[in-house]
Amino acid sequence: MVYFFLSLSDYDKYEHNRQNKTMYKTYFSALLGLILFTYSCTTEKTKRNIDRETLLKEAPVLSPEEFMDFTYLEEGFELQLVASEPEVVAPIALQFDHKNRIWAVEMTGYMPNVDGEGEDSKNGKIVILEDKDNDGHYETRKVFLDSLALPRSIALVEDGILVVEPPNLWYFDIVNDKAQNKTLVDPQYTQGNNVEAQANGLFRSIDNWIYNGGSNKRYKKTKEGWLIEKTHLRGQWGVTQDDDGRLFYNNNSQNLLGDYFLPSLGSNNKNLRKVSGFNERIVDDNRTYPSRPTPGVNRGYVSSVLDDSLRLKSFTAACGPVIYRADLFGEEYYQNAFVAEPAAHLIKRNVLNFNDKNKIDGAQAYAEKEFLASDDERFRPVSLYNGPDGGLYIADMYRGIIQHKLFLTKYLKDEIKKRDLEEPLGYGRIYKVVPKGNKSQTKPISDSPQDWVQLLKNENSWMRETAQQLLVDNKPGSVIKELKQQFNQPVNKHEYIHTLWTLVGMEALSSEEIVNYIVEEESDANLIQLYTALEKTDDSKPTDDFFNKTMSLAENQDLAPYIAFKMDVFEEFNSTFATKLKVQLINDFPESLPIAHALISNAAEKEDELYNSLKSAGVSQKAIIFKEIEKVQETIHKAGKPDKKQELNRKYGRGINLYKSTCQPCHGEDGNGIDFTAPPLNNSEWVTGDKEKLISIVLYGLSGPVTVDGKVYDVPETTGEMPGVINNPEMVEADLALLLSYIRNNWNNEADDITLEDIHKAKKKWKDRKDPFTEEELNDY
């Protein structure tokens, strides 16, 4: 306790300096939390006598044991504590290594108060947690890397680790559990300062590439260095995959989004904005069923947000999804999708339908209840994971504030103050869900490559994925023969898929071998993987057997889209064959949007050529591909004049930076909007029309449907509400004027600039306003 008072004294000394004040306040709060936690552990192993009414009214900090008493879980399961403060603080991302240790990202600096003051403090860490006595509780903490500002993701790769510290993506060698040889992989991994919308994930997919949420980039480490390629823009926070390697994700208001096709396909043409089969709604139902009133959400004052009992109606902070893929829970849970909702203190379970090879859908598992829901307002599950033991792991930031300052409303600030949710800080928990009574622990994976090969068929996805990564990272030549034997005689589907991509990742399978496998293979599921793995090489010369087989398989509606997505490879093999194949695909499936988009995706800068070649080959003009090519041509036309960029940078520099951090995550770099998030700003009458309407929307927000360029945008095509910036203390009016002027003159837009006087006029007119506008209101005014 002496140290406690010394720290308080230091804090008082620095009160005149805001930066140091904030740093000490954060430190003091974390120390206080640690003292309170230690006190509760040492003086009272039994739980305090806290009743539910007090919990709902005052939101006191609960010990993990007390938290479990106020948490409701599906019958037959239980929560087990894996780690808590002080071993782990504010965990937002986890990764197990093959020794069963947990590498945790601690975003300690996130929102230390309602104004976010001091958020850029370098107090974030990457820590290694270890369960040395194998009792399931990770009692040992080792700091691997500290002094990080808002770190957000990690990925273990080869003998090192990728670490995201915005805006940079770093790679460190790991030497005796210490960070060595720091290398910059990408100086623009994230953009802007909107913490909720920055890139994250670093998810190692079955195809050996690293994919991300909130980003259209993918990464791979090679002998020559790091490859960075464009891919589809996916989701907001978190990425996961199914057994076939298809990716799933979400945004704040969408339960579950995902891809119908494998992730490497369909992203070759930047002018094809929406590729059918990617960024699709997997579960349409976004309703939530909290166990407690949830007034502490950002726009709780809007009638559509909370129900009559003040419970959140629909997702507002959906994040961190995982496709559960282990046998511990039982067959009915396998490949179910679990989604975290930290604003409503719950975890949702969705049952997915994989019966159609080229479409996935699903539904919530229960009517009007959740898999897990807590009465504890500080329970903030942000990321979910499959674990080595088959458990479902939960990263819980355990804090009062979850909404970022950028769009924090006055209403929510008042709710936070009302229940003292700013403090204390310095908490964090990791839990796992297991069947009741389950005490089993999993042994670490050995260092034997032969053992890794055998794990590729394991029923637990974490085991087989980790084994694949170990083989790809280490490339032990001694097991290549065994892998190829295993590939020819797989025990199950898992072994086939993981062995294929392991051989590809180890550069031990040539295109010629893949071509031969395609000729011999009969399983549609296996052919999908083989065609996806097929790449262009100078030495590959397919035989007539391959071409004939491919032409025959192109008649199969399940395989046809995958064949169309690989048209760039067939063009390299034999352009005459490729042309004949395109015509056959469109004639056989004239109304197939995925096939049309697959062909267009491989015709970047050659859309006119594709259009004319199909037309001259006699393809019916009623085929949907012609209309889709015309849409792409219109997109190119609407992209705006390329010579605008230099002039825009000169006039609106600070406004451009503000757009990237505040607007781009929802409206897109090209201003054409992002599916399920926000409508376009390009060619929008709301942007180029009446100044006061535009300023009012940006200041106070817009709720409900809105018509842009003749099209109505509403839920679920968008989130249904745009938050205003009126309560953001960091929003500089001069910069806001530059931002609005920038969007009025970027892309295809042309309009006069917004001035400071215009903003002051709107603020004066609406000085007492709290609610967002509706389209009807603005049109009336």
C-beta of residue 54 within 8 angstroms of C-beta of residue 377: no
Poorest-pLDDT segment among 22-31, 253-262, 524-533, 705-714: 22-31
Q: How confident is the model at residue 191 (pLDDT cuts 50, 70, 90)?
A: confident
Helix (H) / strand (E) containing 522: none
Residue 746 DSSP code: S
Q: How many other C-beta atoms are found inside a 10 Å radius of the C-beta of residue 473?
A: 18
Residue 490 C-alpha from the chain's centroid: 33
d(CA 444, CA 449): 14
CA distance 110 to 404: 8
User: What's the whole-number mean pLDDT along residues 301-321?
Assistant: 94
Residue 17 is predicted with a pLDDT of: 39
pLDDT-based confidence at residue 714 (cuts at 50, 70, 90): confident
Q: Which residues fall within 8 angstroms of residue 42, CB to CB, at 6 or more apart?
A: none
676-689 exposure pattern, b = at least 16 Cβ within 10 A, e = fewer: bbbbbbbbbebbbe
Q: What is the pLDDT of residue 735?
A: 92
Query: pLDDT digits over 32-55, tens only?
Result: 444 444 434 443 444 678 999 999
Instruction: Please give the pLDDT value at position 302.
Output: 83
Is 167 within 8 Å of 188 (Cβ atoms)? yes
Backbone angles phi, psi at 661, to 5 degrees: -85, -30
Mean of the per-residue pLDDT values of the chain = 91
- CA count, 13 A, side-chain hemisphere, 698: 28
pLDDT band at 440 (very low <50, low <70, confident <90, very high): confident
**pLDDT at site 640:** 58
Asked whether the beta carbons of 764 and 696 are under 8 A apart, the reply is no
For residue 539, name the pLDDT band (cuts at 50, 70, 90).
Answer: low
Those residues whose C-beta lies under 8 Å from the C-beta of residue 662, and which sit 6 or more positions away, are 192, 194, 406, 725, 739
Q: Any idea which of 53-67, 166-180, 470-484, 646-660 has the lowest mean pLDDT?
A: 646-660
Quick one: pLDDT at residue 304? 86
pTM: 0.90
pLDDT of residue 18: 33
pLDDT digits (tens, 9 = 90+) for 268-293: 999 998 999 999 999 999 999 999 99
Average pLDDT of the residues in 333-345: 98
The residue ranges of DSSP E strands in 375-428, in sequence order, are: 381-386, 392-396
Contact predicate 470/458, CB 8 Å: no
Peptide bond into 642 cis (omega under 30): no
Which of 572-586, 702-716, 734-748 is least confident?
A: 702-716
Residue 304 structure tokens: 């559509």
Residues in CB range of 388: below 8 A, 6 or more apart: 96, 100, 442, 460, 462, 463, 466
- pLDDT confidence band for 721 (50 / 70 / 90): confident
Q: Do the beta carbons of residue 722 and residue 701 sit within 8 Å? A: yes
CA 71 to chain CA centroid, nearest Å: 26
* Residue 24, pLDDT score: 45
* pLDDT, average across residues 734-758: 93
Whether residue 5 is predicted with pLDDT greater than 50 in this model: the reply is no
Q: What is the pLDDT of residue 645?
A: 81
Answer for the pair 90, 397: CB distance below 8 angstroms, yes or no: yes
181 pLDDT higher than 70 = yes
For CA atoms 242, 247, 249, 255, the dihedral sign is negative
CA dist 434 and 717 (Å) reads 36
The residues that bridge with 157 in the sheet, in sequence order, are: 160
Mean pLDDT lowest among 33-42, 71-80, 611-620: 33-42
- Residue 397 has phi, psi (to 5 degrees) of -65, -25
Q: Are 239 and 247 in contact (CB under 8 A)?
A: yes
Tracing tokens 């860490």 back to the chain, one arrives at 125
Q: Quick check: 29 pLDDT over 60?
A: no
Question: Taking 80 as the threshold, does the pLDDT of residue 781 lie above it?
Answer: no
Check residues 721 and 757 and name the one with the higher pLDDT: 757
Residues 96-117: what's their mean pLDDT?
Answer: 96
| 319, pLDDT greater than 60 | yes
Task: Kindly state the tokens that stand for 526.
Answer: 């296996």
* Exposure string for 210-234, b = 16+ CB within 10 A, e = fewer: bbbbbbbbbbbbeeeebeeeebbbb
Rounded to the nearest 10 degrees, what angle do helices 524-533 and 493-505 cross at? 10
Instruction: Quote the pLDDT of residue 639.
Output: 66
**In the prediction, which pLDDT does 32 show?**
47
